[in-house]
Chains A and B, each alone.
Chain A
Amino acid sequence: MIAQLTIQERQSALMILGGLALAGLALAVAGGQDLLAAHGWLTVVCALAGLFYVISGYFEPEPSPERLARYYDEPTKAGVVIAMIWAIAGLFVGDWVAWQLVFPDLAFEGAWSSFGRLRPIHTSGVIFGFGGNALIATSFHVMQRATRARLPDQITPWFVLLGYNLFCVIAATGYLMGVTQSKEYAEPEWYADIWLAIVWVTYFLLFLRTLARRQEPHIYVANWYYMAFILLVAVLHVVNNLAVPISFGSAKSYSVFSGVQDAMTQWWYGHNAVAFFLTAGFLGMLYYFLPVRAGRPIYSYRMSIISFWGITFMYMWAGSHHLHFTALPQWVQTLGMTFSVMLLVPSWASASNALMTLNGAWTKVRDDATLRFMTVAAIFYGISTFEGSFMAIRAVNSLSHYTDWTIGHVHAGALGWVAMITFGSIYALVPKLWNLDTMYSGRLVELHFWLALSGTLVYVFAMWNSGIIQGLMWRSYTEAGTLSYSFIDSLVAMHPYYIARAVGGLLFLLGALVGFYNIVMTIRTASAAQDESDAPVLGAAVQAGE
């Protein structure tokens, strides 16, 4: 990998890693006995390993200028593999906590293995580890292809990818030790947040620099979405994580917001993480890989425009629907609800734009599991956005809130939409990256598809049932006017559904394992040959970007 870097880049790598080692050391020293020190040392170890790696390859010959006529795909390749590793880890922990809800003793009495610590490892592992790495990897691929420009240099993409994964590792190890600021999907503490902000701004600049050098007059829809994703996640992350550490030697910090303002900021963030991380970014994937795989033009450019602006504008207002019937002033709840209802239209326009693009390619959907992954993803996108708008309505929310219905909804989106579009895109991308015509085994892709689909359906139906039963039990009264059921009664009623959910999760995990095996085998059979047509400018040298 070092051979791909120019000498100047190797020097900057050394400087960056040296700086990181010093920053880690500073945290370790300032932390003393605090858990912060553990993360300081972890950073030092990672930085030293990086330094060692760069130095060991430092004197390799520089890359030839011919590379500039080609796209730079090495970070994408690494990102895809890392994403799959996180997928397996995150899904495994998810299924573990699902079984813990059935058999609480599966925590084995450890503090680190208690439900409260493992749950964020699952959520961060799949959202940030799997989803985030898949987004970064595919965005590197798509931003180059749809602009016909090579990434502006070799070091920034590596900084973004590896820096992001350092953040993920700090987050996950922190949860195990009990380091958390208790904000859902924003659990990591202040030092991890600062690091992510640096990485993320670099990512945004990388995107802009590539875009600025594009050789296409127009910017393709996929890149609009990727850009919205990167820009807005930066804004959300910075605002929601504004906090004051109790000292620079402590991992603990307190949010600058308090009370209901804190709740509102958190759910403005939380819901827009769904919007810009889990929707916009993955729509970028959908808009690129679906038409490529189907070999069909996008159904309607105009629909792309109205859905893009509808989604980006309306999502921003919708977060307060997470706080219906709380201390949040009712007028804020009203806005959250109504914008959620209006949001349904652009969301469905997007989903139908994708499905209509398949007109003329439905036989491929039947025969090609990769395209079927993407198709099912678009369908689940439609289902879960409908469900989301529906659940945002106050009357519905009074039944669904705090129940497993919410969990079912999230997983219709996370498994059915986000994971399916990612697997589809990865199966479309991997053979291209490693210069092959197809994956190692088409039948394993097919197997993965059915495992993923059945796992999702079992999961989602279990949670829909369980959630609605729960909601009804909590609100049913005896004739005397007192509650009919205790909370424990509702838990007992959930038991069979929790088993079903854990089984569904297991199927999904098995699918991911099959996928990982297939990807590894594909990489092992990769050919060294290069596809000459996959270059910024056919037959000509590209303008130097460095």
Chain B
Amino acid sequence: MAVEERDPHSGYLTTGHEWNGIKELNTPVPRVVFVFLALTFAFSLVYWLLMPSFPVGTTYLKGLLGVDQRTAVTEELRRASASRAAWARRIETADYATIRADPNLMGLVRETGRPLFGDNCAVCHGTDAKGGPGFPNLTSGSWLWGGKPEDVARTLQVGINAAHPDTRASQMLAFGRDGMLSREDVDAVAAYVQSLSDRSVSSGPDAASAAAGAKVFASKCVACHGPAAKGSTSIGAPDLTDAFWIYGGDRSSIRASIWGGRQGHMPSWEARLTDLDRKILTLYVLDLGARAP
């Protein structure tokens, strides 16, 4: 074993141990280490006294401040909802027209509606509510189930093809897959449907096909989409004559809708959002549409 020696650089003695060339100095522990140990320990001691700390038998030390995270959260939530109560009550009780005419209340609707929509609806309808393939644009003014506030509120409450007992049910049949129409008829009626919103089809090479499709449409589709193909808000059948499409307005998307059918699913929000939140969302969505260019 090596003997103690003095390190020329620091002036301290070594401990006399050596491992494969590694030595250790016997430097005393600097005082700050003890000071900080004492400080952190004192802090902990005080904290233990004030807050819930060590267990004793089947209970625990409650702490002098009597703080408890559960009651603290409950209390905070109570206070937060009390601070919202004033305006919340006005939105809850006023009818839609009154609220929409009141710029103050509409300011609140926009402010609270945006994060509500972002957290609950944007995953499907997009942050701007303009939708995407399979999910309708909510700002277009072209509604499946009607654009009156009561209609939209009802859609939010019960959902579409949802688990709610009173859900709105919508069913676009799989005419091609289920053999109700032949391949040619599907192609023809697809051309016809496209021609309703795109005039160039009736004058182009598909004019004949579109004309044949009109007959198919009159026999198979009018029941739901109506004779003028304007749709029906009582069964959620879309207007096929406008520029707004859920599943796409190009020929192959239209054809896919007719061939394979469509059953969009929109959850029911009754159990997940309060009446107030759903009312705010209804107003918010309508407001987005009203302000959309």
Which residues of A are in contact with B by a Cβ distance under 8 Å?
A: 145-146, 148, 216-218, 220-221, 288, 291-292, 296-304, 306, 310, 325, 329-331, 333-335, 337-339, 341-342, 344-345, 348-349, 356, 359-360, 478, 480-489
Given contacts A482-B115, A485-B115, contact A288 B22 (CB under 8 A): yes
CB neighbors of A among B52-82 (8 A): 52-55, 60-61, 63, 67-69, 80
* Docked-complex contact B44 and A299, CB < 8 angstroms: no
Q: Which chain B residues lie closer than 8 Å to A335 at the CB level? A: 53-54
Q: Which chain B residues lie closer than 8 Å to A301 at the CB level? A: 15, 17, 24-27
Q: Which chain B residues lie closer than 8 Å to A359 at the CB level? A: 9-10
* Docked-complex contact A298 and B25, CB < 8 angstroms: yes
* Docked-complex contact B23 and A298, CB < 8 angstroms: yes
Task: Please list the 6 inter-chain residue pairs (A to B) with the smallest Cβ-Cβ separation, ordered nearest first.
Answer: A486-B118, A360-B9, A338-B44, A300-B27, A297-B23, A301-B24
* Docked-complex contact A220 and B22, CB < 8 angstroms: yes
Q: In the complex the two chains form, what is the Cα distance from A216 to B80 in whole Å?
A: 67
Minimum CB–CB distance from A159 to chain B (whole Å) comes to: 26
* Docked-complex contact A300 and B122, CB < 8 angstroms: no
* Docked-complex contact A329 and B112, CB < 8 angstroms: no
Q: In the complex the two chains form, what is the Cα distance from A145 to B20 in whole Å?
A: 6
Q: Which chain A residues lie closer than 8 Å to B24 at the CB level? A: 221, 297-298, 300-301, 304
Q: In the complex the two chains form, what is the Cα distance from A25 to B22 in whole Å?
A: 49
* Docked-complex contact A334 and B37, CB < 8 angstroms: no
Which of B1, B17, B36, B63 has the most A CB atoms < 10 Å from its CB?
B17
Given A299-B10, A338-B44, A341-B44, 12 other A-B contacts at CB below 8 A? A148-B20, A220-B17, A291-B22, A296-B9, A301-B17, A302-B29, A303-B33, A334-B48, A339-B44, A345-B33, A482-B112, A488-B118
| 10 pairs of residues in contact across A and B, judged by CB atoms under 8 Å | A297-B14, A330-B67, A331-B55, A338-B44, A345-B40, A349-B33, A480-B84, A483-B112, A486-B118, A486-B122
Q: In the complex the two chains form, what is the Cα distance from A299 to B26 in whole Å?
A: 8
* Docked-complex contact B84 and A481, CB < 8 angstroms: yes
Q: In the complex the two chains form, what is the Cα distance from A486 to B29 in whole Å?
A: 52
Q: In the complex the two chains form, what is the Cα distance from A137 to B30 in whole Å?
A: 34
* Docked-complex contact B68 and A330, CB < 8 angstroms: yes
Given contacts A292-B22, A331-B52, contact A342 B44 (CB under 8 A): yes
Q: Which chain A residues lie closer than 8 Å to B122 at the CB level? A: 486, 488
Which of the residues A148, A218, A341 comes within 8 Å of B40, measured between beta carbons? Answer: A341
* Docked-complex contact A342 and B37, CB < 8 angstroms: yes
Q: Which chain A residues lie closer than 8 Å to B102 at the CB level? A: none
Minimum CB–CB distance from B243 to chain A (whole Å) comes to: 27
Minimum CB–CB distance from A426 to chain B (whole Å) comes to: 18
Q: Please tell me if B250 contacts chain A, counting CB pairs below 8 Å.
A: no
Q: Which chain B residues lie closer than 8 Å to A310 at the CB level? A: 37
Q: In the complex the two chains form, what is the Cα distance from A512 to B44 in whole Å?
A: 42
CB neighbors of A among B1-29 (8 A): 1, 7, 9-10, 14-15, 17, 19-29
Q: Which chain A residues lie closer than 8 Å to B69 at the CB level? A: 325, 330, 333
* Docked-complex contact A489 and B115, CB < 8 angstroms: yes
Minimum CB–CB distance from B47 to chain A (whole Å) comes to: 5
Instruction: Return the chain A residue nearest B27 by Cβ.
Output: A300
Minimum CB–CB distance from A95 to chain B (whole Å) comes to: 27
Instruction: Return the chain B residue nearest A219 by Cβ.
Output: B19
* Docked-complex contact A303 and B29, CB < 8 angstroms: yes
Minimum CB–CB distance from B194 to chain A (whole Å) comes to: 30
Q: In the complex the two chains form, what is the Cα distance from A360 to B23 in whole Å?
A: 14
Which of B21, B33, B51, B55 has the most A CB atoms < 10 Å from its CB?
B33
Instruction: Return the chain B residue nearest A361 by Cβ.
Output: B9
* Docked-complex contact A297 and B7, CB < 8 angstroms: yes
Q: In the complex the two chains form, what is the Cα distance from A375 to B29 in whole Å?
A: 21
Q: Please tell me if B175 contacts chain A, counting CB pairs below 8 Å.
A: no
Which of B51, B68, B117, B122 has the most A CB atoms < 10 Å from its CB?
B51
Looking at chain A's contact residues, is the secondary structure mostly helix, strand, loop, or mixed? helix
* Docked-complex contact A146 and B20, CB < 8 angstroms: yes
Which of B24, B30, B40, B87 has the most A CB atoms < 10 Å from its CB?
B24
Q: In the complex the two chains form, what is the Cα distance from A338 to B41 in whole Å?
A: 8
Q: Which chain B residues lie closer than 8 Å to A300 at the CB level? A: 24-29
Q: Please tell me if B182 contacts chain A, counting CB pairs below 8 Å.
A: no
* Docked-complex contact A329 and B33, CB < 8 angstroms: no
Minimum CB–CB distance from B45 to chain A (whole Å) comes to: 9
Q: Which chain A residues lie closer than 8 Å to B80 at the CB level? A: 481
Minimum CB–CB distance from B50 to chain A (whole Å) comes to: 9
Minimum CB–CB distance from B224 to chain A (whole Å) comes to: 34
Q: Which chain A residues lie closer than 8 Å to B25 at the CB level? A: 297-301
Minimum CB–CB distance from B228 to chain A (whole Å) comes to: 39
* Docked-complex contact A331 and B53, CB < 8 angstroms: yes
* Docked-complex contact A302 and B52, CB < 8 angstroms: no
Minimum CB–CB distance from A145 to chain B (whole Å) comes to: 4
Q: In the complex the two chains form, what is the Cα distance from A484 to B115 in whole Å?
A: 7
Q: Which chain A residues lie closer than 8 Å to B19 at the CB level? A: 145-146, 148, 216, 218, 220
Q: Which chain A residues lie closer than 8 Å to B17 at the CB level? A: 216-218, 220, 301
Which of the residues A218, A345, A356 comes within 8 Å of B37, measured between beta carbons? Answer: A345
Q: In the complex the two chains form, what is the Cα distance from A301 to B60 in whole Å?
A: 40
* Docked-complex contact B68 and A146, CB < 8 angstroms: no
* Docked-complex contact B54 and A306, CB < 8 angstroms: no
* Docked-complex contact B40 and A344, CB < 8 angstroms: yes
Q: In the complex the two chains form, what is the Cα distance from A333 to B51 in whole Å?
A: 10
* Docked-complex contact B84 and A482, CB < 8 angstroms: yes
Q: In the complex the two chains form, what is the Cα distance from A484 to B112 in whole Å?
A: 7
Q: In the complex the two chains form, what is the Cα distance from A323 to B21 in whole Å?
A: 45
Q: In the complex the two chains form, what is the Cα distance from A331 to B67 in whole Å?
A: 11
Q: In the complex the two chains form, what is the Cα distance from A301 to B10 in whole Å?
A: 14
Q: In the complex the two chains form, what is the Cα distance from A530 to B61 in whole Å?
A: 64
Instruction: Return the chain B residue nearest A356 by Cβ.
Output: B27
Q: In the complex the two chains form, what is the Cα distance from A325 to B67 in whole Å?
A: 13
Which of A292, A297, A338 has the most B CB atoms < 10 Å from its CB?
A297
Given contacts A298-B22, A301-B26, contact A478 B112 (CB under 8 A): yes
Instruction: Return the chain B residue nearest A298 by Cβ.
Output: B24
Instruction: Return the chain A residue nearest B26 by Cβ.
Output: A301
* Docked-complex contact B1 and A481, CB < 8 angstroms: no
Q: Please tell me if B180 contacts chain A, counting CB pairs below 8 Å.
A: no
Q: In the complex the two chains form, what is the Cα distance from A480 to B115 in whole Å?
A: 13
Given contacts A217-B1, A345-B36, A484-B115, contact A306 B44 (CB under 8 A): no
Instruction: Return the CB mask of B256-274 against A: 1 if under 8 Å, else 0.
Output: 0000000000000000000
Instruction: Return the chain A residue nearest B10 by Cβ.
Output: A359
Q: Which chain B residues lie closer than 8 Å to A218 at the CB level? A: 17, 19
Q: Which chain A residues lie closer than 8 Å to B53 at the CB level? A: 331, 334-335, 338
Q: Which chain A residues lie closer than 8 Å to B36 at the CB level? A: 344-345, 348
Q: Which chain A residues lie closer than 8 Å to B44 at the CB level? A: 338-339, 341-342
* Docked-complex contact B29 and A329, CB < 8 angstroms: no
Given contacts A292-B21, A298-B25, A344-B40, contact A488 B48 (CB under 8 A): no
Q: Please tell me if B251 contacts chain A, counting CB pairs below 8 Å.
A: no
* Docked-complex contact B111 and A478, CB < 8 angstroms: yes
* Docked-complex contact A330 and B52, CB < 8 angstroms: yes
Q: Which chain B residues lie closer than 8 Å to A146 at the CB level? A: 19-20, 22
Q: Which chain B residues lie closer than 8 Å to A331 at the CB level? A: 51-55, 60-61
Q: Please tell me if B114 contacts chain A, counting CB pairs below 8 Å.
A: yes
Instruction: Return the chain B residue nearest A302 by Cβ.
Output: B29
Q: In the complex the two chains form, what is the Cα distance from A437 to B74 in whole Å?
A: 67
Q: In the complex the two chains form, what is the Cα distance from A334 to B111 in whole Å?
A: 38
Q: In the complex the two chains form, what is the Cα distance from A296 to B41 in whole Å?
A: 33
Minimum CB–CB distance from B156 to chain A (whole Å) comes to: 17
Q: Please tell me if B83 contacts chain A, counting CB pairs below 8 Å.
A: yes
Which of the residues A478, A480, A487 comes within 8 Å of B118, measured between beta carbons? Answer: A487
